[in-house]
């Protein structure tokens, strides 16, 4: 069964304390893995797309990596404004799109 | 990336009534998607809407409950019919587009409360 699992469900960090969010997936025919940021009351905001194992993308304090089974979103020296829910999604065969349940990140000053 | 707007941004509706949500994109796109995000949950795809053809619904969603229109390449509507409190949710439209394949961009969402 195709599925996407994110961990942890929630993460509390102190400002400057680096960490990683995990997205593991089991799908048939991975076409792409996507990371989104969602602020309360808003639609998801696109961050990254990864297509193949070994690929990495960076944007400011965020870095996304991909293996054959999972993806990590590394947050380096986070700031309070990085607080949000981070969603992982996978596109598989037949244009099926699966979202994980998200990791709610809270960065304390 | 595409700029997407939705109307209304929120609504409170009575049980048994229907609500039509509009999604407008600032550029022409082939594929538009409608999602539901129930409180505290992630996104679930309702249907894919291509211009000029019938919408394709995911398992658990039917056209009688969620009729969709796609009259042109920049606009779509989703109607939530005969609503019940279980339909209370955020409804989001998205489009595929961007610099790389399969990227999806989302509208701000419509927060629906059914009483």
pLDDT value, residue B31: 86
Contact present, B31 and B53 (Cβ < 8 Å): no
pLDDT value, residue B99: 64
pLDDT band at A3 (very low <50, low <70, confident <90, very high): confident
Smallest Cβ–Cβ distance between B100 and the set A41, A42, A49 belongs to A49
Average pLDDT, integer, range A1-28? 93
Strand partners, B28: none
- With CB atoms and an 8 Å threshold, state whether B104 touches A46: yes
pLDDT band at A28 (very low <50, low <70, confident <90, very high): confident
Contact present, B113 and B12 (Cβ < 8 Å): yes
pLDDT in tens, chain B (115 residues): 788 999 999 999 999 999 999 999 999 988 899 999 988 788 999 999 988 888 999 989 999 999 999 999 999 999 999 999 999 999 999 998 766 666 788 999 999 999 9
- With CB atoms and an 8 Å threshold, state whether A46 touches B101: no
Smallest Cβ–Cβ distance between A99 and the set B42, B48, B98 belongs to B42
Contacts 24+ apart (CB under 8 A), A36-41: A36/A86, A36/A87, A36/A88, A36/A89, A36/B106, A37/A84, A37/A85, A37/A86, A37/A87, A38/A84, A38/A85, A38/A86, A38/A87, A38/A102, A39/A84, A39/A85, A41/B109, A41/B111
Taking CA–CA distances from A85, the nearest residue in chain B reads B42
Residue B86, φ and ψ in degrees, nearest 5: -65, -15
Residue A86: closest CA among A21, A42, A12:
A21
pLDDT value, residue B98: 63
Residues of B in contact with A89 (CB under 8 A): 43, 104
């Amino acid at each position: 069964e195709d599925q996407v699992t994110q961990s942890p469900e929630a993460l509390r960090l102190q400002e400057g304390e680096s960490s990683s969010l995990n997205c593991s997936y089991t799908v048939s025919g991975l076409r792409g893995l996507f990371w989104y940021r969602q602020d309360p009351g808003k639609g998801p905001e696109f961050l990254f797309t990864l297509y193949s194992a070994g690929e990495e993308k960076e944007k400011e304090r965020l870095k996304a990596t991909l293996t054959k089974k999972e993806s990590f979103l590394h947050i380096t020296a986070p700031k309070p404004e990085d607080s949000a829910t981070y969603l992982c999604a996978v596109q598989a065969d037949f244009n099926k799109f699966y979202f994980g349940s998200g990791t709610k990140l809270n960065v304390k000053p | 990336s595409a700029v997407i707007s939705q109307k209304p941004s929120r609504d409170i509706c009575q049980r048994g009534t229907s609500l039509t949500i509009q999604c407008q994109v600032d550029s022409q796109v082939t594929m538009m998607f409608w999602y539901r995000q129930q409180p505290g949950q992630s996104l679930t795809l309702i249907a894919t809407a291509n211009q000029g053809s019938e919408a394709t619904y995911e398992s658990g969603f039917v056209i009688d409950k969620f009729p969709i229109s796609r009259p042109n390449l920049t606009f779509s509507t989703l109607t939530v019919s005969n609503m019940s409190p279980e339909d209370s949710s955020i409804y989001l439209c998205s489009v595929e587009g961007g610099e790389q394949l399969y990227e999806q961009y989302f509208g701000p969402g419509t927060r629906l409360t059914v009483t």
